[in-house]
């Protein structure tokens, strides 16, 4: 998660994302549209249930949203 937050900080700095709400939404977008599809592909190849994909994708999405919000506080 440290590597993920470091890259998110870099992307936020290059994009000019500085407010709490924009950090929260951007983190949510990263989790939802970058990480969750990756998890879905990995779970599909392993023939795992889709419900597991929803759980794992939810953790990734909300985790990235929290990271994005915290990054903009400092």
User: pLDDT by residue (tens digit) across 5-64?
Assistant: 999 999 999 999 999 999 999 999 999 999 999 999 999 999 999 999 999 999 999 999
In Å, how far from its chain's centre is CA 10? 14
Q: Answer yes or no: is pLDDT of 4 > 90.
A: no
Look at the chain and count its residues. 74
User: In whole angstroms, how far apart are CA 10 and each of 16, 40, 47, 63?
Assistant: 10, 26, 35, 17
Say what the pLDDT of residue 1 is.
83
Say what the pLDDT of residue 73 is.
92
Q: Rounded CA gap, 61 and 51, in Å?
A: 15
Q: pLDDT-based confidence at 74, cuts 50/70/90? A: confident
* 64: CB partners within 8 A, 6+ apart: 4, 8, 27, 28, 30, 31, 35
């Amino acid at each position: 998660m440290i590597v993920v937050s470091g890259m998110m900080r870099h992307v936020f700095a290059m994009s000019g994302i500085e407010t709490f709400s924009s950090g929260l939404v951007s983190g949510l977008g990263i989790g939802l549209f970058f990480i969750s599809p990756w998890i879905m592909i990995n779970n599909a190849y392993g023939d795992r249930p889709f419900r597991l994909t929803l759980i794992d994708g939810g953790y990734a999405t909300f985790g990235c949203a929290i990271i994005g919000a915290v990054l903009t506080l400092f």
